[in-house]
């Protein structure tokens, strides 16, 4: 694989994001490779999946704007990122996101799709999509308020409020904050604790918990398709790309 690493340990599957030149921004290649890992993991021996960056100080900076600016309504209706996050949420066994550094936009939504989130003190969470002329159409509109409440979700979605590690812990967005040097070990220890339970019971409990999720993904996909065709989206994304050259 080009941008994903995989390491298997007893009861643990370490999935590393390895696109440091773009701060692990989600592009089509990363989506495809994560999809392939999930498909294989669902057929493999039971394991807690840990999603982390192979490079310190980063998680996922967001979707790759260079690709996103070219996506149209048809791409939105194919639910490229949203579909991946749905499949991640539906993974048979528990998942843990290890967030060291910024988790913005699609990066925040990727972390939200996991069952647990551990972070370092430098972690930052934000949903800046509206500033780019689109919406948080890959789960942010409903996973975020389910975790942190509607008030903070509105501030993050409407105003682009950036949430630091301590605030994320207090709001319930993350389960724990650990020093960066200990973060991955803490995730593995958590996975080992989870793995002492019955795998079949874990799988069925995940299915039970999913029955309580709101069914808003269809609206998000349709709304995103409308926004992807707009001139405002292209103008705002081009300005973003110009600022970051």
Q: Is residue 20 part of a domain?
A: yes
Which residue out of 40, 86, 89, 129 is catalytically annotated? 129
**Cα distance between residue 44 and residue 26, in whole Å:** 25
Q: Is residue 206 part of a domain?
A: no
Residue 68, pLDDT score: 81
Asked if the model's pLDDT at residue 136 lies above 80, the reply is yes
More confident residue, 68 or 84: 84
Residue % of the chain over a pLDDT of 70: 99
Q: Which domain holds residue 16?
A: 4-194
Q: Is residue 210 part of a domain?
A: no
Residue 94, pLDDT score: 98
The answer to whether 129 is a known catalytic residue is yes
Asked if the model's pLDDT at residue 115 lies above 70, the reply is yes
Residue 215, pLDDT score: 65
Residue 155, pLDDT score: 98
Q: How many domains does the chain have?
A: 1
Backbone angles phi, psi at 97, to 5 degrees: -95, 130
Residue % of the chain over a pLDDT of 90: 78
- 1-20 burial, b for 16+ CB within 10 Å, e for fewer? eebbeeeeeebbbbbbbebe
Asked if the model's pLDDT at residue 211 lies above 90, the reply is no
Distance of CA 122 to the CA centre of its chain: 17
Residue 208, pLDDT score: 93
Q: Is residue 35 part of a domain?
A: yes
Report the run of H or E that residue 108 belongs to, with start and end: helix 106-112
Q: Is residue 243 part of a domain?
A: no
**Cα distance between residue 207 and residue 148, in whole Å:** 22
Q: State the CATH number of the domain containing residue 121.
A: 3.90.226.10
The mean pLDDT of 31-57, rounded to a whole number, is 97
β-bridge pairing 12-17 and 163-164: unpaired
Q: What is the pLDDT of residues 150-188, one digit of tens each?
A: 999 999 999 999 999 999 999 999 999 999 999 999 999
Q: What is the pLDDT of residues 219-244, one digit of tens each?
A: 888 888 888 888 988 899 999 989 98
Q: Is residue 41 part of a domain?
A: yes
Asked if the model's pLDDT at residue 216 lies above 80, the reply is no
CB of 168 closer than 8 Å to CB of 174? yes
- What is the overall mean pLDDT for the chain? 94
Q: Is residue 60 part of a domain?
A: yes
State the number of CA atoms in the 13 A half-sphere of 223 facing the CB.
16
**Cα distance between residue 144 and residue 146, in whole Å:** 5
Angle at CA 169, nearest 5°, toward 166 and 175? 140
The answer to whether 109 is a known catalytic residue is yes
For residue 235, give every residue at least 6 positions away whose Cβ sits within 8 Å of its Cβ, in sequence order, or none. 133
Q: Is residue 240 part of a domain?
A: no
Burial of 45 from C-beta contacts in 10 A (0-12 / 13-18 / 19+): exposed
Asked if the model's pLDDT at residue 197 lies above 90, the reply is yes
Residue 219, pLDDT score: 80
Which residue out of 33, 70, 109, 182 is catalytically annotated? 109
């Amino acid at each position: 694989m080009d941008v994903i690493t995989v390491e298997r340990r007893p009861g643990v599957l370490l999935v590393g994001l390895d696109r440091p030149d773009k701060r692990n921004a989600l592009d089509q290649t990363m989506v495809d490779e994560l999809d392939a890992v999930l498909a294989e993991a669902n057929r493999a021996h039971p394991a807690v999946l840990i999603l982390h960056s192979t490079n310190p100080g980063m998680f996922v900076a967001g979707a790759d704007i260079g690709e996103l600016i070219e996506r149209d309504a048809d791409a939105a209706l194919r639910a490229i990122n949203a579909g991946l996050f749905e499949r991640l949420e539906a993974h048979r066994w528990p998942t843990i996101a290890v967030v060291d550094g910024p988790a913005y936009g699609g990066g925040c939504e990727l972390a939200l799709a996991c069952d647990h989130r551990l972070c370092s003190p430098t972690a930052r969470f934000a949903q800046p999509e509206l500033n780019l002329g689109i919406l948080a159409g890959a789960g942010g509109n409903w996973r975020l308020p389910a975790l942190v409440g509607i008030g903070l979700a509105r501030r993050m979605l409407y105003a682009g409020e950036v949430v630091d590690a301590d605030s994320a812990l207090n709001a319930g967005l993350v389960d724990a904050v650990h020093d960066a040097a200990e973060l991955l070990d803490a995730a593995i220890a958590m996975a080992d604790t989870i793995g002492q339970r019955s795998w079949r019971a874990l799988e069925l409990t995940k299915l039970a918990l999913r029955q309580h999720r709101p069914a808003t993904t269809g609206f998000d996909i349709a709304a995103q398709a409308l926004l992807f065709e707009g001139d405002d989206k292209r103008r705002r994304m081009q300005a973003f790309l110009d600022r970051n050259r």
